Amino acid sequence: MVTMAPHRSLRLLLASGVTATTLLCLPAQAAGDDGPGNVLTIAVSQSVDSLSPFLAQRLVSTTLHRLTYEYLTNYDVKDARTIPGLATAWKPSPDKLTWTFTVREDSRWSDGKPATAEDAAWTFNKMMTDEDAATANGSFTANFRKVTAPDPRTLVIELKKPQATMTALDVPIVPKHVWEKVGDFSKFNNDKQFPIVGNGPFVITDHKVDQYVKLRPNKHFWRGAPKFDELVLKYYKDGDAAVAALRKGEVSFVPNLTPAQAASLRSAPDIKVNDAPGRRFYALATNPGARAKDGRRFGTGHPALLDPRVRKALFLAVDRKAIVDRVFQGHAVEGAGYIPPRFDRYFWKPEGSQKRGYDPAGAERLLDTAGYRKNAAGKRVGKDGKPLDFRILCHATDPNDKAVGKYLQEWWSELGIGLKVDCLDNVSDPWAKGDYDLAFDGWSVNPDPDFVLSIHTCAALPATPKDTGATDNFICDRQYDELYARQAAEYDPAKRAGIVKQLQSRLYDTGYMNVMAYPNAVEAYRTDHIASITTMPEAAGNLWGQDGYWSWWSAEPAAAGDGGDPGSPTGVWLVIGPAALVLLAAGVWAAVRRRSTADDRE
């Protein structure tokens, strides 16, 4: 995407003898600029939590890492089946406790050095021996006994027990010769020296916090370099501002549109709206009492939420259908289990008496049973006489959080419960400290669901209150852990899917997580910037936040004759004074352009 820098352009034109009585037509892309030619700019609203693949958990960050580093395997863009990545082949031993991967010969790091099995072995061994390096993806290596690279093309992983995720290890492989120099992995964010060395389709060349991330094509990428000369993720705190930038041609792509925004763009020229089943769930999470592995509790979570009757009462007073109809306006599916229906093998929903529908009367009865009764003023109070009031963490950049928050205040006030909606730019800090009662939560689910299931195990808790764990909401339930261990070791696809459904059933019954909806991927891009781009799945899928790098690697710039210069608006008119002179492009517009530079939720 290309835009004009008005003040700089005016100075250049005046220096060229252009007077103040000139009518100028200034094309948006000029010849002779030594910057990148075709720039694809993506508007994001989520902050990057870390550029270190050992720490990052947010969608915007993991998306960047999929673009920057190869994984051992990838997911097919058509049907999400496992396909080669850095590894071209893999084979388990008869007892499935030893896995041998063949590493491809044609993968090179962006600094020109070959990517080898030794890089993969070093990555996994670092995660196995340094707890800080296992922060983001430690669940994948927790069962590894030994990892070796007997030669540059062979990687051998020995397991303690069978592990069903061996062909879906969603771990970025990093270059040993760069990362072995890092000291403290808990503090290293990989954002001090650019370009960042990787072997994926793109190379990160610059990053300014809450402003932008810039990437250039990796000319060494084994599949072939991307077609755009630069990819920019530009931060917009306000979604309407991002949509306005899309209309103006200042950005090429905007994800996470509200229904109103999508409707307004459907008739806009040169803009295509993509509305497809998503891979995310949208949930209401409770703080079950923040704790560490050493047994110490911390944070300021409301003690009433330790009672499952209170948690279930709150969820009975949430009208999921109303949220889908009124907030998402039909661009979502009513929530139930933890895995979205897009992944039909693992999708689960409660049946019969287990199902908790919208039932305010039932919520009233549960609260009464739990000892929280209404006083004369209609306020719920405990046996200590204190009113039942909660706080909910809300993402300031997410309009869905704010809209649902208002409905919760309305529904729960009828129960006599007060609710304060804390919409913050940074929810991560109070979340990690356990300083919340409830929180709006959501994750993008991979074709293999192991990771999103692992974040609710006891093993994901922080080691001490001062540490950072991989936990989502400090859930530690022994029955859940037993089921998780069983599915992780089950190779039979049908049997494993059955256990995964039991896991979701257990999570539902405990009342810790109320999955309210599965939002569609509603996004839009400029067709005069992007001629073609691949969704995942190809038939009807999303562009932003894919299980791979297919969208941005495949994106083709629009040809100049198909709606203007690639990735740019067709031109900018400046009317200065009464003269009617029209200066054509030649000789006037050289060196008068500049490019805009540059987030989803955890």
- Mean pLDDT computed over every residue of the chain: 88
- Say yes or no: 384 and 355 in one domain: yes
Query: Which CATH number covers residue 210?
Result: 3.40.190.10
For the stretch 90-148, pLDDT in tens is 999 999 999 999 999 999 999 999 999 999 999 999 999 999 999 999 999 999 999 99
- Say yes or no: 477 and 535 in one domain: no
Residue 57 belongs to a domain:
no
Residue 186 belongs to a domain:
no
Across the range 438-463, mean pLDDT stands at: 95
Q: Taking the CA of residue 475 as centre, how many other CA atoms within 13 Å lie in the half-sphere pointing to its CB?
A: 24
- For 117, the enclosing helix (H) or strand (E) is helix 117-129
Residue 339 belongs to a domain:
yes
- Say yes or no: 571 and 483 in one domain: no
Contact 301, 437 (CB under 8 A): yes
Domain limit, last residue, from 504, 519, 534:
519
In terms of phi and psi (left: phi > 0; alpha: psi -120 to 50; beta: otherwise), the region of 548 is: left
Alpha carbon of residue 539 to chain centroid: 22
pLDDT confidence of residue 12: 31
pLDDT confidence of residue 37: 85
Q: In whole angstroms, give the CA distance from residue 193 to residue 340.
A: 38
Residue 240: pLDDT band (50, 70, 90) is: very high
Edge-to-edge strands, sheet with 98-103: 87-92, 98-103, 154-159, 144-151
Nearest Cα to Cα of residue 280 among 339, 329, 229: 339
Residue 492 pLDDT greater than 70, yes or no: yes
Residue 34: pLDDT band (50, 70, 90) is: low
Across the range 374-385, mean pLDDT stands at: 94
Identify the residue with better confidence: 532 or 32: 532
Number of domains in the chain: 3
- 495 to each of 55, 450, 537, how far by Cα in Å? 32, 15, 25
Residue 599 belongs to a domain:
no
Residue 86 pLDDT greater than 80, yes or no: yes
Residue 581: pLDDT band (50, 70, 90) is: very low
Please provide the DSSP assignment of 248-264 as one string: HTS-SEE-S--HHHHHH
- Say yes or no: 270 and 287 in one domain: no
Strands 593-594 and 581-583: unpaired
Residue 513 belongs to a domain:
yes
Residue 334: pLDDT band (50, 70, 90) is: very high
Contact 139, 127 (CB under 8 A): no
Residue 602 belongs to a domain:
no
Q: In whole angstroms, give the CA distance from residue 75 to residue 548.
A: 6
pLDDT confidence of residue 469: 85
For the stretch 161-207, pLDDT in tens is 999 999 999 999 999 999 999 999 999 999 999 999 999 999 999 99
- 456 to each of 26, 70, 445, how far by Cα in Å? 56, 27, 14
Domain that holds residue 8: 3-42+201-276+524-594
Residue 576 pLDDT greater than 60, yes or no: no
Residue 88: pLDDT band (50, 70, 90) is: very high
Residue 567 pLDDT greater than 60, yes or no: no
- Say yes or no: 456 and 590 in one domain: no
- Say yes or no: 392 and 495 in one domain: yes
- Say yes or no: 157 and 258 in one domain: no
Nearest Cα to Cα of residue 597 among 9, 44, 58, 18: 44
- Say yes or no: 316 and 447 in one domain: yes
- Say yes or no: 120 and 210 in one domain: no
Domain limit, last residue, from 471, 488, 519:
519
Domain limit, last residue, from 519, 539, 554:
519
Residue 280 pLDDT greater than 80, yes or no: yes
Across the range 387-397, mean pLDDT stands at: 96
Tokens of 247: 């209309």
Contact 50, 56 (CB under 8 A): yes
Query: Which CATH number covers residue 105?
Result: 3.90.76.10
Tokens of 70: 């190869």
**SS3 assignment, position 583:** strand
Query: Which CATH number covers residue 514?
Result: 3.10.105.10
Across the range 536-540, mean pLDDT stands at: 92
Residue 421 belongs to a domain:
yes
Report residue 450: phi and psi, to 5°.
Answer: -55, -45
Residue type, 231: L
pLDDT confidence of residue 560: 61
- Say yes or no: 352 and 467 in one domain: yes
Residue 601 belongs to a domain:
no
- Say yes or no: 396 and 514 in one domain: yes
Nearest Cα to Cα of residue 483 among 497, 463, 467: 497
pLDDT confidence of residue 299: 97
- Say yes or no: 320 and 437 in one domain: yes
Residue 17 pLDDT greater than 80, yes or no: no
Q: What percent of the chain has pLDDT over 70?
A: 87
Q: In whole angstroms, give the CA distance from residue 375 to residue 382.
A: 10
12-36 exposure pattern, b = at least 16 Cβ within 10 A, e = fewer: bbeeeebeeebebebbbbbeeeeeb
Terminal Cα distance for the chain, rounded: 27
